[in-house]
Structure 1
């Protein structure tokens, strides 16, 4: 039984042969779909200059989805602090929280959101990569501006994204709930959990440790169909293993003929074993075991397949077969 809340992360993959605007048009329908299915929250990731992922600002997608839904929590997963002035982040999400009370989350992350150095520098107006100290100062400043400068009423719920013990330590020190990027660096998950729980300090934001675990999840009627739908993302990952960050997102038919090396197959199999891809029984069992092993309070599912029907179908199958707690009211 998978009896903890489930949420969704939207990455907005742009399939080869389509335009980003077509992916963008699906975002409202996807938000309405996961709300109808009872998912607790929907977050949007920040990416830049990628042929496979749309460069859609999370704050804009959050506002767009909030206008077309009524219950589901919405926000960033995450807005990347080094790319933005802290006061701007606070004002944007504070405004959204005022417009949509008790529905807005502010997930904050560190990465540049791009593998392209020129794009990363452009985002930071010519500055280099943020240091640990600069990132910590940015996060603290965002929280301070939320409280001291954004006098608009209800505040967004802040979260810190973490894929390393360093990020976990910062979340613990600030007393923030943590969202763990298990879908990116699963080998770090246990170390992140241990650090966060050991060092957590209660704050106005969170009285006790609170963990959301993000898992790459592709569910279909059969294991074979799920593997077919998941294969395009595996092609992109294989490219990243070779240092090829500008890989387009292929169609399933294109991905089916892609040749993987033995080393790539081994690496991809190891990653897949720590995620949840397969038929409903396979996926629900895997998610339940991850929840039990990590003690996560909530699971966030990211489903990097392009077709809207297939993505929503994956979320629907999981809800149908899991018995997970539905978000029938705003939490």
Structure 2
């Protein structure tokens, strides 16, 4: 049994042949279904200028989902510091936390949320990429403003997103819980978490190290069906391996006919070995292994599959393998 709280990351894939409006409707329904299933958190990722991922602001999706759910925690995973002023982030998430007490998370990340340089320049606050010192100052300022200037009542729970040792070091220094992007940089996970725990300094926000790892997870009744459902995202990843971010999110049928090169197949297999794909038994075993290896306090699943029904079914199957007591034991 999976003996940890389970959460979800929503990346709002825009399916081939559909419109962004339909993706938004699916995203709203997904939140209601995850709430009913008893998932602990649902976070929204910030992306821009991609045909495969909707450019939907996390703060807007959080507000919309909070109005139609009752228990699941909601927030950003993450909202990206280079693209927003600290005061705006503090005001937005402080207001959400006041409207929905003890249900709002503020996950802060550093990336631009796009592979398009022109889009990145139009988003960031300044002509050059954010430096390490500027990123640290932005996070510190956002936290200070939450407490000192815009607190309306209960505060959002802040998290620092990371895919590197540098991000882990900042989370440790500031005493923040860390959400590690194992689904992006699995090769960095163990070293970064060791660094985080060894250097953690308690703070107002967190008394001890707290670790969430995000794992790409596709669960289905058979191994073959799970592989079929994972196919569309593999096409997108293969494009990224070539430096292309303009690949639409195809149907499973289109993905099954995609001509992957041998080097792409090897790279995708290497990445997949660090994630969790397959039957409920296989996924349970893999997530349990990852939880043990990383010492994670919580698992966040990202399931970029084509159809809403298949995506929800994957989360249902994984949830069935989790102990009922795990959520009750989770640190609030």
Q: State the TM-score bracket (shorter-chain normalisation).
A: over 0.9
The yes-or-no answer on 1:79 pairing with 2:79 is yes
The yes-or-no answer on 1:169 pairing with 2:145 is no
Structure 1 residues 324 and 291: CA distance shift in structure 2, 3 A: farther
How much has 1:245 moved relative to structure 2? 1.2
* Equivalent pairs, count: 331
Residue of structure 2 equivalent to 1:208: 208
Residue of structure 2 equivalent to 1:235: 235
Residue of structure 2 equivalent to 1:305: 305
Provide the rounded CA distance (Å) in 2 between the counterparts of 1:197 and 1:238.
34
Residue of structure 1 equivalent to 2:284: 284
Q: State how 1:23-62 maps to structure 2 within 5 Å.
A: 23-62=23-62
Provide the rounded CA distance (Å) in 1 between the counterparts of 2:200 and 2:164.
15
Tell me, yes or no, if the aligned pair for 1:13 and 1:54 is still in contact at 8 Å.
yes
Tell me, yes or no, if the aligned pair for 1:219 and 1:226 is still in contact at 8 Å.
yes
Q: Which moved more, 1:66-75 or 1:27-36?
A: 27-36
Structure 1 residues 315 and 326: CA distance shift in structure 2, 3 A: farther
Residue of structure 1 equivalent to 2:320: 320
Q: Which moved more, 1:19-28 or 1:84-93?
A: 19-28
Query: CA offsets, 1:305-330, max 9 Å, x none?
Result: 12110110000011113335464799
Tell me, yes or no, if the aligned pair for 1:86 and 1:138 is still in contact at 8 Å.
yes
Q: Which moved more, 1:168-177 or 1:122-131?
A: 122-131
Tell me, yes or no, if the aligned pair for 1:38 and 1:326 is still in contact at 8 Å.
no
Provide the rounded CA distance (Å) in 1 between the counterparts of 2:145 and 2:100.
19
How much has 1:74 moved relative to structure 2? 0.3
Tell me, yes or no, if the aligned pair for 1:180 and 1:189 is still in contact at 8 Å.
yes
Residue of structure 2 equivalent to 1:103: 103
How much has 1:206 moved relative to structure 2? 0.3
How much has 1:249 moved relative to structure 2? 0.6
Provide the rounded CA distance (Å) in 1 between the counterparts of 2:315 and 2:74.
17
Provide the rounded CA distance (Å) in 1 between the counterparts of 2:218 and 2:150.
39
Tell me, yes or no, if the aligned pair for 2:76 and 2:106 is still in contact at 8 Å.
yes
SS at match of 2:321: helix
TM-score, normalised with respect to structure 2: 0.98
Residue of structure 2 equivalent to 1:138: 138
SS at match of 1:212: strand
The yes-or-no answer on 1:123 pairing with 2:154 is no
Report runs of 4+ in structure 1 exceeding 3 Å deviation: 324-331
SS at match of 1:310: helix
Provide the rounded CA distance (Å) in 1 between the counterparts of 2:95 and 2:171.
24
In structure 2, the gaps of 5 or more residues are: none
Provide the rounded CA distance (Å) in 1 between the counterparts of 2:228 and 2:141.
44
Provide the rounded CA distance (Å) in 2 between the counterparts of 1:321 and 1:202.
33
Tell me, yes or no, if the aligned pair for 1:39 and 1:326 is still in contact at 8 Å.
no
The RMSD of aligned alpha carbons is 1.3
How much has 1:50 moved relative to structure 2? 0.3
Tell me, yes or no, if the aligned pair for 1:40 and 1:326 is still in contact at 8 Å.
no
Tell me, yes or no, if the aligned pair for 1:71 and 1:330 is still in contact at 8 Å.
no
